[in-house]
Each structure stands twice: as structure tokens, then as C-alpha cells.
Structure 1
Amino acid sequence: MFKTLTVFLLTILLAACGISIDANKYQNIDPQFDPFEFFNGKVKAWGIVQDRSGDMIQRFTVEIDGRTDGTTLTLDETFHYEVGQGVTHRVWKISAKDRSQLQGSANDILGQAKGQLAGNVMRWQYEMSLPVDKTSYTVQFDDWIWAFEDNTIINRSYIKKFGIVMAEVTIFMQKTHPEV
């Protein structure tokens, strides 16, 4: 009886640690998000990372230089940290099977990142080797990006290890030279 109760309680506890967002809820919400359009040009981003207890462990800005050739989106990202440390440079290469299914890679991403677009939201999932102090951990990122208006997006990332959210990232991004 004790074993059964313990397994039941652990199952409920682990299920409570997950994030469950349904992208289809956003299918008909405007503005529609197109990463090829939004990131084509210069974008400025501001973000924080919070640990499991909610304490801010990083605060950073990102300068993003994006360009597209029609089939591939290249994001050249430069990070600056006010609090904490982390990667200082990343280059994403993102392609689209169609305008709703994306895939991408970057130097510190393990394997292929997968993306799904639905209305004003994009879900972006990937695995990363995340350096912490003098070691690194393989973690999964589950990014949810919402178009807030034509020139602004909000990115909420859940960093998971063993399916448990270990940290959360919140990033606001804005085009610095929106096309008129």
C-alpha cells in the first residue's frame, strides 16, 4: 500500500512540474507570427533567467542581426550580461519545410531544433549543452514565442532536465528598424 501511494504521489508531483500549452488555441489570433519576416533585419532583445525558486540568475541583452534568402533564416546573436554569465555568440540557421513547420541548428544546439507556427505563436524545441560553472548539462528548451504586435514579440522558455522545469527565461524582442 505504501509503495502504491508513493508512486501515485510522485506521478502527480512530476505531472505538476510540466508546462502544457496548446498552440492551436492561438491559430486565429493576430498578428500572425512569421519569423522569416520578423527577424529579417536588426532586432534588440532584453531578458532574464530565473531558477526554480524564481530568483533571477541572469539578466542580459541580445543584438540580433537576421537575414533571409527566402528558404533559410540566419540569426547572428550577440549576448551581453549584466548579471550572470552565458554564451556570448550564437548563429542560428533556420529553414522551413512549409510556413508552419521549421527546423534549425546552431553551434551549441545538439541535433536539430524543431518549430511549429500557429497564428501568433511559435513553439521552438531543442536540446542544448548548457555550461554551468566548470561543467555542462544536457537540457531541453521549450520556447514559446508570441507576437505581441508587428514589431514586438515575447519569448517564454522552459529549461528542463529529466522532464522537470529547472529554470525559466523571459525575453522581449523588438525590431530596431521596422520597415515602413
Structure 2
Amino acid sequence: MNHRRLFLAAAAASALLAGCASAPTPADYAAEKPVLALERYFDGLVLAHGIFTDRSGKVVRRFTVRMDCTWKGDEGVLDEAFTYSDGSTQRRVWRLKKLRGAGNEGRYTGTADDVVGTAQGQAAGNAFQWAYTLRLPVDGKVYDIQFDDWMFLVDDKVMLNKAVMSKFGIRLGEVTLAFTKP
């Protein structure tokens, strides 16, 4: 019986410590190379392949994206054309802005027709984190889903992207993408 109590106490302490662990921030990657500048990577044609997984990890949808990207000064347009494994298509046009001034190093904002409000992003080193709410149509209804979206530049041609989707703080699933520059 004492072994069982000791085991339960150790398990509870481990869970408590795991709950106290801080989430990563872009600053954690500040020393990583190559340095990610959205205005350099997302300039010209970018292709992507991705999957949606549900909260159990099951792949529920596959897709490809063709992105035509342009920048003028501190403003960029990412014109995304999605093709899903079921043959359906979707288009999203992001309008990005690189922020300037004290305290705005590496900060970007973004809007798109299906984004609620303005996305906020922070780049540091090879990483970029977006936070935004996306209006997603599902089975004839539209839901506002929160995204914690991370991108990691691997080299000048490849970037990996992982986004956790949630609603009311409950994890719904993930989007995983591999971006490539031809």
C-alpha cells in the first residue's frame, strides 16, 4: 500500500511540474540560424504540402498550397491557393505588415478575409509564431478557431510549420506543413 501511495504522489508531482513548465517563446530561438525574415522567405512562389490531424493524431485531411507572395516595403501579400485531397479548393489572401519602431523588432501583423481581427506574430532567429482566430466552415456551420502557429526555417528553401487549433482552450487538432521554395 505504501508503494502505491508513493507512486501516486510521484505521479501527482510530475503532473504538477509538467503543468508549470513554461511554453516556448520566439526568444527561445533567437540564436538559431538561418534567420527567418518573412519578407525574404515569402517573396515569389512558395509551395506547401500539409495535413490536418484531429486531437487523437489521426490524419483527417491532406492538402497542397500554391502561394504567390509579394512584398513592397514593409507590406506583403501571400495569395494562397489550397487544393484538398477530396478535390475541394480554397483561397486565402494574407496581408502582412512588418512593424517598425522601438519594441517592434521581429513583429508582424496580418489580416485575411477569414481571420477574425488581426493576427499577431513575432520572429526571432529561425522561428516565427503567429496567434490568430480563423473562421472555419465545418459541415455547414462556421466556427471561430484559435491558432497557435509556429514556423521554423530549416534552410533557404525549406520551412516547417506546426499549428495547434483550439476552441475555448480545448485542443482540437493540429496542422502540419512543409513549405518549399522551388
TM-score range, shorter chain: 0.7 to 0.9
The residue aligned with 1:25 is: 28
What SS does the corresponding residue of 1:36 show, helix, strand or coil?
Answer: helix
Structure 2 segments unaligned to the other structure (5+ residues): 1-11
What SS does the corresponding residue of 1:25 show, helix, strand or coil?
Answer: helix
C-alpha RMSD of the superposition: 2.2
After TM superposition, the structure 1 = structure 2 runs for residues 1-180 of structure 1, keeping only pairs within 5 Å, are 20-83=23-86, 88-98=90-100, 99-176=105-182
Deviations 1:34-83 (A, max 9, x none): 11100100000000000011111110000000000011110000000114
Deviations 1:84-136 (A, max 9, x none): 85x61010000011351100100100000000011100001101111101111
TM-score (norm 1): 0.84
Structure 1 segments unaligned to the other structure (5+ residues): 1-8
Query: Matched residues in 1 for 2:170 and 2:25: separation?
Result: 19
What SS does the corresponding residue of 2:99 show, helix, strand or coil?
Answer: strand
TM-score (norm 2): 0.83
What letter matches 1:138 in structure 2? Answer: D
Displacement of 1:144 in angstroms is 0.4
Displacement of 1:22 in angstroms is 2.5
Q: Percent identity?
A: 37
Query: Matched residues in 2 for 1:49 and 1:112: separation?
Result: 23
How many pairs does the alignment contain?
Answer: 163
What SS does the corresponding residue of 2:85 show, helix, strand or coil?
Answer: strand
Larger Rg: 2
Contact 1:102-1:114 within 8 A present in 2 as well: yes
Of 44-53 and 75-84, more deviation after overlay is shown by 75-84
What letter matches 1:54 in structure 2? Answer: G
What letter matches 1:80 in structure 2? Answer: T
